[in-house]
Structure 1
Amino acid sequence: MTVLRIVSNLHAADPASAQVFYGDLLGLDIVMDHGWIMTFASKAQTVPQISIASKGGSGTIVPDLSIEVDDVDEIYQRARSMQFEIVYDLNDEPWGVRRFYVRDPFGKIVNILSHR
């Protein structure tokens, strides 16, 4: 038996309101839209992962989602210009990632990161 995919399901009264954050900010494509559920995806091939944590590292809370991008600085600047709430400022962490936390439209804390 092999896990092929892991999908996070976030509750939203209006799933279409996810477009600005997950589509416009992060560049994900809508691959399914039934009105009551929308799925955003990237063309990148990834390995299924799930992290279980007691803390977020560097004195932060555990984020609801972690999304790795190829240019965290670009996404950080776009998030600021789009006036998304930055919960934890852009930082180089001792374990080799550069990251920041941002609040999505549904109140979820999203860890946006790149490996250095």
Structure 2
Amino acid sequence: MAVKKIVANIATGSVAEVRTFYADLFGLEVVMDLGWIVTLASGETAPTQISVASEGGSGTEVPDISIEVDNLDEVHKSAQSLGYQITYPLTDEPWGVRRFYVKDPSGKCVNVLSHTS
């Protein structure tokens, strides 16, 4: 048996608003839209991962979802200019990532990161 994919499901009463957040901030494209559920994708291929944590590191909350990007500073500037709530500032962490937390419109904590090493 092999796990082929893991998909994050975000419960919301405002599918369109949350869709816009992930499309505008991360450039994700809609690959399925049934109205009550929208699936967005990047077209990239990545290893299947799941993290289990007691904290988010550096004393932060455990984020609901982590998104690795290749242009962290650009995404951070976009999040600020779009008026999204940044709950943990842009930080270089001792374990080799640079990241920030932003809340999506459903209140989910999104860990946006790039590896520094």
User: Could you say which TM-score interval applies, normalised by the shorter chain?
Assistant: over 0.9
1:62 equivalent in alignment to 2:45: no
Partners of 1:71 and 1:95 lie apart in 2 by 19
Q: Which runs of 5+ in 2 are unaligned?
A: none
Query: Residue by residue, what CA displacement relative to the aligned partner does 1:19-65 show, whole Å, maximum 9, x if unpaired?
Result: 32100111000000000000011111111110000010011010000
Partners of 2:79 and 2:69 lie apart in 1 by 13
Question: Partner letter of residue 114 of structure 1?
Answer: S
TM-score by length of 2: 0.97
Please state whether the residue corresponding to 1:70 is helix, strand or coil: coil
Partners of 1:55 and 1:19 lie apart in 2 by 27
Match of 2:90 in 1: 90
Question: Partner letter of residue 13 of structure 2?
Answer: A
The percentage of aligned residue pairs carrying the same residue is 57
1:45 equivalent in alignment to 2:57: no
Match of 1:11 in 2: 11
1:99 equivalent in alignment to 2:65: no
CA contact (8 A) 2:19 2:38 kept: no
Match of 1:73 in 2: 73
CA contact (8 A) 2:91 2:99 kept: yes
TM-score by length of 1: 0.98
Partners of 1:8 and 1:44 lie apart in 2 by 16
**How far does residue 71 in structure 1 lie from its aligned partner after superposition?**
1.0
Partners of 2:59 and 2:44 lie apart in 1 by 31
Partners of 1:20 and 1:84 lie apart in 2 by 12
Partners of 2:81 and 2:99 lie apart in 1 by 17
Please state whether the residue corresponding to 1:75 is helix, strand or coil: helix
Question: Partner letter of residue 14 of structure 1?
Answer: S
